[in-house]
Structure 1
Amino acid sequence: MPETSSRTAPPTLRWVGDALTGTLELLDQTRLPGEVVTLTCRTDDDVFGAIRRLSVRGAPAIGVSAAYGLVLGVQQALAPAPGPLSGGRAEFDAALAASAEKLAASRPTAVNLFWALARCRRALSAEPDLAPADALARLLAEAREIEAEDRAMCAAIGRHGADLLPEFPPPGDGPDGELGLLTHCNAGGLATAGDGTALAVLFEAHRRATEAGRRVRTYADETRPLLQGARLTAWELTRRGVPTTVLCDSAAASLLATGRVHAVVTGADRVAANGDAANKIGTFPLAVLAHRFNVPFYIAAPTSTFDRDLASGDEIPIEQRDAAEVLNYGDLRTAADGAEAYNPAFDVTPANLITALVTERGVIPSPTTAAVGAHLAGA
């Protein structure tokens, strides 16, 4: 059952308990910023629903949640009531496969989902002699490791990305000499287990500027139709004391034309082998605008978000979401009766519009297939 609290916000996700009886707690992002609500997931169906309705979102957070969802799926199948696991290792493996198949169907674009599920299954297939109880504990350990790696990844991306930014804007640029950074959608702690990807860069830039007695101004596109920028990114930034201005997506060109933005930084949900990157709808036109106004356009994403099986962004599956998200505002119909909606959740930014890709390993300037391959070698 959801629990509402006005206290300090809980973490985006948290496993509570042991492998046999534990649960996954998720911060319900559909209720932010008005309410801070924690969802307790006891089954993989609960995790599936949370991913599908965007209670948990952002490629890394989806991957971590899915890994924990596998633990719940095996619990549900082999220990439906308190007590020891039923069945043997064959039953365990069958339950794991069924849960992975279910969770994989929750969203099609974020590759971290499939990466985390495959990694957990590989970890268990490498130890076929483990008894079910030990195998379940091993599965939980792998999920915890994925979460810990995600936190470290966020910190590294923040450092590498901030290194790309000017310490101070050129003389006369920006109000009061502010360093202006524009982002789209939400790629912060709400989208990961740590400080985020794109927002980790902004947080680190703010920290460095503050230490130097300077100021960073962040600009957050509202990100229609679900307003992840206005609701989530602005919530995260303001809670951390980062000066934040929200703008309509359609105002980005006017803002860039003023010269107040010195870099655009976004996240990604899948990056193809050639560096083409899928991110929230509206990212592609923002990259076009950044190119037009000669503003660097950076994408921050972990190596787990790269899909080397896809040669280019043309092969990235794009999720199509419910028309009501565009035609309605909540329960209020805002579009004319009879109108239809075009509602892709993501678009693909071509690599030739990306100044650099930033990962936990470092920076890929002017990404190409060769450069991406060299960067990921051994990953």
Structure 2
Amino acid sequence: MSLRAIKYENNSLEILDQLLLPAHSKYVSIKGVEDGWKAINKMQVRGAPAIAIVGCLSLAIEIKHEKVDSKRDLRQEIEGKLNYLVSSRPTAVNMKKAADDLIALANRLYEDENINLETMKSRFISDIEAMLEADIADNKAIGENGAKEILLKFPGDGLVRILTHCNTGSLATAGYGTALGVIRSLHTLKRLEHVYCTETRPYNQGARLTAYELVHDKIPATLIVDSMVGALMKQRNISAVVVGADRVAINGDTANKIGTYQIAVLAKYHGVAFYVAAPFTSIDRKISNGDQIIIEERPDREITHVGEHRIAAQGISCWNPAFDITPASLIAGIITEKGVFLPEKLKECFQ
């Protein structure tokens, strides 16, 4: 059974505090939008799908317990708080898309004279709650589609070796995962020989979170430092690279955790297929290319310290972008719940 990063039941929302993993498994209660914003911004919850789900569920919790006097007040409350949640981490598109869809829903419910205040609240909350099950179903479809795509290049019953970066599993989604979902599907099919996961500096999501999930699921895996990727591809016969995405431009350029771009360059040099696994909600058709994607910059301390211990020289300046852009030309395919698409074909999916 995969890990649960998000627990939502009996009008209560809890998240697994990912800042404490792997040493401690502790769930934190989210009682409203302010808690949701802080959990996302501090990276107690992370991963584009999980950010959107936790952000929206924090609003659902608040609406359930907050009294409003009219449909107009509720609509204004919804719009203001969703826009606030979007500001918690700007690069991941899923929260922005969810906010836009939910604001549009609130406007439709407000304008429908046959719907009263209580029905408006109920309908709105139900739509948010449905996001959890939909995300798990989408992830499983991504896993199946990705496994099938990779195995097309390895006919017969041979085993494959996969490299992944950052964390894209149950801890980054409602459950199962995107890139890690592909790995889980390959493992279920008994076609996975081994997984290699990068440490993913400076926040170590690979070492702390992906490794934690792989050990939990008893998937054969090895952790490497980020600077070992070239040597790994030269010496260990990697079959494919599968990573996630925080935002995909309509031309296929992809924003993902810092370090993804250099892995894609190395994969191209070594003739290793490089795949991006992401739900359709991560595709931003309003963005024509990766140059238009806003890249979040994180505090210097993430580079200069490990926990409370300083590892960098005093006085050194730092540059700490959380993400980089992988050009579409380096991507063999975008794996989604609707199928696997060549980057240049993404635009056709919205026509």
TM tier, smaller: over 0.9
CA distance change for structure 1 residues 10 and 182 in 2, over 3 Å: closer, same or farther? closer
Amino acid in structure 2 at the alignment position of 1:298: Y
The answer to whether the Cα contact below 8 Å between 2:268 and 2:330 also exists between their aligned partners in 1 is: yes
Residue from 158, 164, 174 that aligns with 1:183: 164
The answer to whether the Cα contact below 8 Å between 1:59 and 1:192 also exists between their aligned partners in 2 is: yes
Residue from 90, 99, 108 that aligns with 1:117: 99
C-alpha distance in 2 between matches for 1:305 and 1:100: 18
CA distance change for structure 1 residues 182 and 292 in 2, over 3 Å: closer, same or farther? same
The one-character-per-residue Cα deviations of 1:302-339 (angstroms, maximum 9, x if unpaired) are 11000111110000000000100001111111110101
- Determine the structure 2 residue equivalent to 1:252: 229
- Determine the structure 2 residue equivalent to 1:82: none
C-alpha distance in 1 between matches for 2:244 and 2:17: 20
CA distance change for structure 1 residues 167 and 372 in 2, over 3 Å: closer, same or farther? closer
C-alpha distance in 1 between matches for 2:288 and 2:153: 38
Q: Say which SS state the counterpart of residue 357 (structure 1) adopts.
A: strand
1:74 CA drift (Å): 3.3
CA distance change for structure 1 residues 257 and 74 in 2, over 3 Å: closer, same or farther? same
C-alpha distance in 1 between matches for 2:234 and 2:154: 15
C-alpha distance in 2 between matches for 1:375 and 1:167: 23
C-alpha distance in 2 between matches for 1:9 and 1:360: 19
Give the structure, 1 or 2, with the largest relative contact order (CA under 8 Å, sep 6 or more): 2
C-alpha distance in 2 between matches for 1:375 and 1:259: 36
1:221 CA drift (Å): 0.3
Which region of structure 1 is more displaced relative to structure 2, 305-314 or 62-71?
62-71
C-alpha distance in 2 between matches for 1:10 and 1:202: 15
- Determine the structure 2 residue equivalent to 1:233: 210
The answer to whether the Cα contact below 8 Å between 2:2 and 2:170 also exists between their aligned partners in 1 is: no
1:9 CA drift (Å): 8.5
Amino acid in structure 1 at the alignment position of 2:335: V
1:333 aligns with 2:315: no
- Determine the structure 2 residue equivalent to 1:315: 292
Which region of structure 1 is more displaced relative to structure 2, 346-355 or 158-167?
158-167
1:36 aligns with 2:13: no
The one-character-per-residue Cα deviations of 1:41-64 (angstroms, maximum 9, x if unpaired) are 111000000000111110011111
1:142 aligns with 2:127: yes
Q: Say which SS state the counterpart of residue 7 (structure 2) adopts.
A: strand
Amino acid in structure 2 at the alignment position of 1:311: S
- Determine the structure 1 residue equivalent to 2:200: 223
Using the size of structure 1 for normalisation, the TM-score is 0.88
- Determine the structure 2 residue equivalent to 1:4: none
C-alpha distance in 2 between matches for 1:282 and 1:189: 21
The answer to whether the Cα contact below 8 Å between 1:197 and 1:300 also exists between their aligned partners in 2 is: yes
1:374 aligns with 2:348: yes
C-alpha distance in 2 between matches for 1:302 and 1:92: 30
The one-character-per-residue Cα deviations of 1:221-273 (angstroms, maximum 9, x if unpaired) are 00000110011111111111110100000000000011421100000000001
Q: Say which SS state the counterpart of residue 189 (structure 1) adopts.
A: coil
- Determine the structure 1 residue equivalent to 2:83: 101
Amino acid in structure 1 at the alignment position of 2:175: G
Aligned length: 347
The unaligned stretches of length 5 or more in structure 2 are none
1:93 CA drift (Å): 1.2
CA distance change for structure 1 residues 38 and 9 in 2, over 3 Å: closer, same or farther? farther
Amino acid in structure 2 at the alignment position of 1:69: S
Using the size of structure 2 for normalisation, the TM-score is 0.94
C-alpha distance in 2 between matches for 1:240 and 1:154: 17
Residue from 9, 24, 30 that aligns with 1:16: 9
1:70 aligns with 2:47: no
CA distance change for structure 1 residues 87 and 284 in 2, over 3 Å: closer, same or farther? same
C-alpha distance in 2 between matches for 1:147 and 1:254: 39
C-alpha distance in 1 between matches for 2:319 and 2:130: 39
% same residue: 38
1:376 CA drift (Å): 3.6
Q: Say which SS state the counterpart of residue 304 (structure 1) adopts.
A: helix
CA distance change for structure 1 residues 376 and 360 in 2, over 3 Å: closer, same or farther? farther
Q: How do residues 188-207 of structure 1 correspond to structure 2 at under 5 angstroms?
A: 188-207=169-188
Amino acid in structure 2 at the alignment position of 1:220: C
- Determine the structure 2 residue equivalent to 1:126: 108
CA distance change for structure 1 residues 42 and 199 in 2, over 3 Å: closer, same or farther? same
C-alpha distance in 2 between matches for 1:110 and 1:217: 29
1:165 CA drift (Å): 1.7
The answer to whether the Cα contact below 8 Å between 2:243 and 2:276 also exists between their aligned partners in 1 is: yes
Amino acid in structure 2 at the alignment position of 1:337: Q
C-alpha distance in 2 between matches for 1:103 and 1:218: 35
- Determine the structure 2 residue equivalent to 1:155: 140
Amino acid in structure 1 at the alignment position of 2:6: L
C-alpha distance in 2 between matches for 1:293 and 1:215: 20
- Determine the structure 1 residue equivalent to 2:16: 27
Residue from 326, 332, 348 that aligns with 2:325: 348
Q: Say which SS state the counterpart of residue 191 (structure 1) adopts.
A: coil
Amino acid in structure 1 at the alignment position of 2:122: A
C-alpha distance in 1 between matches for 2:350 and 2:13: 31
C-alpha distance in 2 between matches for 1:170 and 1:139: 47
